[in-house]
Each structure stands twice: as structure tokens, then as C-alpha cells.
């Protein structure tokens, strides 16, 4: 089945460690996104990528890094520079369909810093 997978579902990190969240899609979508979700704040954009080997910072990119070496994959690294990384992280991809642009979301990764 086509879709977006994120792994792991739960992730624990010690302070000072970098950690990488995986996002894979087999929908053949060009655009991919990373969002952070905190209670009461909705979704905030971290990074997005329109095509392979290209990505742009969102509103809260500090302390995060991404790569887009393959169309299917858009991993997010949470670095030790991120002051408060405990949050729920959502990955999405986007297609231009008959109804226009539509984002499809993965199931998310819950990151907890110990």
C-alpha cells in the first residue's frame, strides 16, 4: 500500500545527543515536510523540500537539520542545539492531484528527552 512511514513511533534521547527521525514515502510525491506539534500550539513548520537535493527552512528550523538525497526519504536530525526537543513530530508529503494540492501525513514520532 502507498503511504508515509515514520520511525520510530517513540524515541528517547539523552540531553546532548543528536537523534535522527526517519520519514519515507512511496507515493512518488515531490514535496515533503517536517512539522513539530506541541500542546496548544498546533503544527509548526521545521523544514520543507520541494524536490530532491533542495530544502528550505521553516519557522522553527534552529537546532534541526534535514537531507533530501532521495525522493522517497526526508530524514530529520534533532541536534543538541535544540533547546526543547520533546514534542510530537509529523512528516508529510504533497501531491498535485485533481483536487489541487493535498498533504498526506505520516503517523508521527514522539520524541522525549530524558
Partner 1 sequence: AQTVTQSQPEMSVQEAETVTLSCTYDTSESDYYLFWYKQPPSRQMILVIRQEAYKQQNATENRFSVNFQKAAKSFSLKISDSQLGDAAMYFCAYRRSGTYKYIFGTGTRLKVLA
Give the footprint of partner 1 on this chain (CB under 8 A).
Answer: 31, 33, 35, 40-45, 48, 50, 56, 58, 88, 90, 92, 94, 99-108
CB closer to partner 1, 58 vs 63 = 58
* In the complex, minimum distance from the CB of residue 80 to partner 1, in angstroms, rounded to a whole number: 26
Q: What is the DSSP letter of 36?
A: E
For partner 1, the closer of residues 52 and 105 by Cβ is 105
Minimum gap (Å) between residue 87 Cβ and partner 1: 12
CA distance linking residue 77 with residue 20, whole number of Å: 4
State residue 17 phi and psi, 5-degree precision.
-100, 145
Distance, in Å, from the CA atom of 99 to the CA atom of 88, rounded to the nearest integer, reads 29
Amino acid at each position: 500500500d502507498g503511504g508515509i512511514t515514520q520511525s520510530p513511533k517513540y524515541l528517547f534521547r539523552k540531553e546532548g545527543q543528536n537523534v535522527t527521525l526517519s520519514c519515507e514515502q512511496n507515493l512518488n510525491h515531490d514535496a515533503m515536510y517536517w512539522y513539530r506539534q506541541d500542546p496548544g500550539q498546533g503544527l509548526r513548520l521545521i523544514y520543507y523540500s520541494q524536490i530532491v537535493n533542495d530544502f528550505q527552512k521553516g519557522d522553527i528550523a534552529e537546532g534541526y537539520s534535514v537531507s533530501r538525497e532521495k525522493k522517497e526519504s526526508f530524514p530529520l536530525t534533532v541536534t543538541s542545539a535544540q533547546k526543547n526537543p520533546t514534542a510530537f513530530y509529523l512528516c508529510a508529503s504533497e501531491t498535485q492531484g485533481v483536487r489541487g494540492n493535498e498533504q498526506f501525513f505520516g503517523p508521527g514520532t514522539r520524541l522525549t528527552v530524558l
